[in-house]
Every structure is written in C-alpha cells, then in structure tokens.
C-alpha cells in the first residue's frame, strides 16, 4: 500500500468516526482556533460561557453588590455547591466534596487527616514512587510532621508492601508521565484489608474516565480542576472526604471557614459538619466562579461516553502513529490495554524537546517531559478524530 493511500484511508476513517461521535456537538462550546490542541491534560480549553460569567462576577456581583454578594450571589456556599457539580464526574454523592485551595494544600490536608484517622501504632506512610513531584514533597513533609516513616513504592508493589505498620497510602489514579491507569478498586480494597486509609490523586483522571469514589469505598481524594475539567489556569482544587469519615476527619489546617460557627470568632476551634471540614480560609471567588461556569459544559454528558470516546481517540492516534511514523523513531510508553490507559499517549522520542517545539510551531500543541517524552492529551469534549489523524501526520513529517 502506498504512503498516500495510507493517508487517504486513515483520513476517511477519521471522517467516519467524527460522523458517529455523539460528543462532537460539545466542541462548539469551547473557544478554539484552527490548530489541534492536545494539551488538555495540562490546561483545558476555555469554555465559551466563562468570559461572560466572569464579567458578571466582576462588574455586578463585586462591582455593584460588593459585600452583599457573599449572601445574595451565593459566594459563601460556592465551595460546597461547586463540589456537588464535580461529584458525579468522580462517582460521588453530593455533600462529600469541597472546592478550594490548591492540589498541594489538599494533598497535605488529606494525608495528615488520613494518618489521624487510624489507630495508634501505625507509623508508616506509603507513597507512589512514580508520583508527580509535589505529591512526594508533601508526603515527605507530612511524614516528618506526624512522626511517620515515608516509604516510596510503585503502585504495583503496594499490596506486598502493606503491613500492620501502614497508616495511609497516597496514590495517583493516572501516571502523569506515561498515562498509565492504575487499578483503583483493587488497590483501595488491598489498603482497606490492611487496615489503612486510601488517598487518591485524581488530577489526570477526573473528567476523562469514570472514577467511582463511592462505589469503591475510597476514603479521601484530591484533584485539580484546570485539566479535563477546564476550570482555567490556577482554578481551585477539591477535596473528597467519604461521608462515613466526615465526623472523624481532623484537618491539619483548621481555618475559620471550616469552623462550626465561622462568624462567632471564638477562641477555640470546633469543626463544621460534612464536607465543610475541608475548608480553610476565604475562598478565591473569581477563580471559583469561573470554574462553576466552566462546568456547565458537562450538562447531560455521561462520563461513560467520555471514556468510550477517549479510548477510541487514543486507539486511533496509536494506529495513525504506527502507520505514519518511521519505524523505530518513537516508542509508546502508554499501555495498549484499555484497562491500563488514561486519556493521554506518551511517546518516547530521542529529540523530544525539539520535536515538540516544531509541532507547536505547526499548530499541533502537546507538551514535552524531560528527558525524552512527547505527551499528547485527548479531551473528548473538544478533540475530534480528524484532529488525531492530522496530529499523527504532522508528527510523522517532523520525524522524517
């Protein structure tokens, strides 16, 4: 088969796949250019509803109503209200997620809170050895502050590493480098069988695939909102506390916002009930309400449909790469099995940094992770199959 015929066949297949895409209509709800944006696993695209909503927040809610907006515009209840919007996207019932602070701050709250939930005598914390650096830094600090030993292990090593010493385990649902999806149900069950607390980082899975926090009995979870949830740069993160643990969750950051009587200005701290225990200080209203507007694109979208398209997109990208790219030029680090794959494809490439710079110059936006990884994130709400075919074709041209 000639090279041109191969291009034509895959381009035709892309057109057919786009024609049957039930999520294709969602693309119009985002502000996009003529390029191919495959970096939603770092920063999601801008939903069209956000600018107007933010203008209203600034001009009317802040500009005209001013202090009255804490009540009249619902500012005070935003962290829990927006948490309830995120809840169905991660398989949680309402009342268990609070939005606010950064992922790093929420990892700290969750991990120290997890240690405080277990009986005494457990002196070890397990952390994903392949984790995003911040989670490792926070885990090391939490271990020092609580007098625990920190033990880095890979997710696959967790079952064998668990013991009566284990207090808590911090794991990533999807590996940020490779896109590998870890087995949340079985690992959570193993952690519980050992009598420990399971803490999950959902930064690279929320909004891309079903998580099932309630179904699988996850204790605590954190995640960012600026990737697949499209909340904008620096948008606030969230903290999930399973309902059955909420009355015992002891946050290491007991701010006035999480007080049972926040305006009582009391000298002693009494934690609020429910998800509010995860709050600390005054919420970042501008970013938070931009996130609330961004989440409107999820109206009527089943996460299962997003997952199905995500797998189809990544399958098709790998097919096009195999057909177009010269043999031996790249190596996929992303698992081929669906049950082990998130919503990104990572390709090892000898001169990855230079290649990605050239791709971006031609309108194919992914990112580069040192020393040799090209990352391509596939956000099913706005990435189509023609985008995928075009990206693989331009990649092949740059690698010849």
Tokens encoding 345: 């494809």
Is residue 132 among the annotated active site residues?
yes
Q: Report the C-alpha gap between 162 and 168 in whole angstroms.
A: 10
Could you write out the DSSP letters of every residue in 188-199? HHHHHHTT-EEE
The neighbour count for residue 379, using CB atoms within 10 Å, is 28
Contact 184, 206 (CB under 8 A): no
- Considering 201, 219, 284, 387, which one is annotated as catalytic? 201
The neighbour count for residue 268, using CB atoms within 10 Å, is 5
- Considering 30, 108, 226, 317, which one is annotated as catalytic? 226
- Three-state DSSP at 71 gives helix
Tokens encoding 143: 């271990």
- Considering 26, 151, 375, 390, which one is annotated as catalytic? 375
Q: Looking up tokens 């200005």, which residue turns up?
A: 265
Interstrand relation of 238-241 and 364-365 (parallel, antiparallel or unpaired): unpaired
With CA atoms as reference, report the closest residue to 221 among 199, 236, 206: 199
Q: Report the C-alpha gap between 39 and 210 in whole angstroms.
A: 20
With CA atoms as reference, report the closest residue to 100 among 273, 247, 260, 276: 276
Is residue 144 among the annotated active site residues?
no
Phi-psi region of 355 (alpha: psi -120 to 50; beta: other; left: phi over 0): alpha
Tokens encoding 371: 């020393």
Tokens encoding 180: 């590998």
DSSP secondary-structure letter at 271? Answer: B
Contact 271, 241 (CB under 8 A): no
Q: Which residues contact 85 (CB under 8 A, 6 or more apart)?
A: 292, 295, 298
With CA atoms as reference, report the closest residue to 336 among 345, 327, 328: 345
Is residue 201 among the annotated active site residues?
yes
- Considering 30, 37, 132, 228, which one is annotated as catalytic? 132
Contact 191, 182 (CB under 8 A): no
Q: Which residues are catalytic?
A: 132, 201, 226-227, 375
């Amino acid at each position: 088969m000639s090279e041109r015929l191969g291009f034509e066949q895959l381009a035709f297949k892309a057109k057919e796949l786009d024609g049957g895409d039930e999520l294709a209509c969602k693309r119009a709800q985002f502000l996009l250019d003529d390029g191919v944006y495959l970096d939603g696993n770092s920063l999601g695209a801008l939903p069209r509803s956000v600018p107007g909503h933010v203008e209203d927040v600034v001009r009317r809610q802040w500009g005209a109503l001013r202090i009255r907006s804490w009540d009249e515009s619902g500012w005070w209840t935003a962290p829990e209200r927006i948490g309830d919007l995120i809840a169905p996207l991660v398989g949680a019932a309402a009342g268990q997620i609070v939005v606010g602070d950064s992922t790093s701050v929420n990892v700290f709250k969750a991990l120290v809170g997890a240690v405080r939930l277990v009986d005494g005598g457990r002196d070890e914390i397990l952390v994903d050895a392949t984790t995003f650096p911040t989670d490792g830094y926070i885990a090391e600090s939490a271990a020092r502050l609580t007098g625990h030993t920190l033990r880095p292990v890979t997710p696959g090593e967790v079952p064998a590493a668990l013991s009566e010493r284990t207090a808590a385990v911090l794991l990533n649902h999807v590996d940020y480098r490779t896109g590998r999806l870890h087995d949340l149900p079985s690992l959570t069950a193993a952690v519980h069988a050992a009598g420990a607390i399971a803490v999950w980082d959902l930064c690279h899975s929320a909004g891309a695939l079903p998580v099932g926090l309630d179904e699988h009995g996850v204790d605590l979870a954190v995640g960012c909102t600026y990737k697949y949830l499209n909340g904008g740069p620096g948008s606030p993160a969230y903290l999930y506390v399973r309902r059955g643990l909420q009355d015992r969750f002891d946050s290491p950051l007991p701010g006035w916002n999480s007080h049972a009587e926040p305006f009582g200005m009391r000298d002693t701290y009494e934690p609020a009930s429910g998800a509010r225990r995860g709050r600390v200080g005054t919420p970042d209203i501008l970013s938070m309400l931009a996130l609330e507007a961004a989440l409107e694109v999820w109206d009527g979208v089943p996460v299962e449909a997003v997952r199905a398209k995500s797998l189809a997109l990544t399958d098709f990208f790998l097919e096009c790469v195999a057909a177009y790219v010269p043999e031996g030029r790249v190596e996929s680090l992303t698992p081929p099995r669906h049950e082990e794959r998130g919503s990104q494809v990572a390709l090892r490439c000898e001169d990855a940094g230079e290649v990605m710079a050239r791709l971006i110059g031609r309108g194919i936006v992914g990112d580069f992770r040192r020393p040799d990884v090209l990352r391509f994130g596939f956000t099913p709400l706005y990435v189509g199959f023609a985008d995928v075919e075009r990206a693989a074709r331009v990649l092949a041209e740059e690698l010849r």
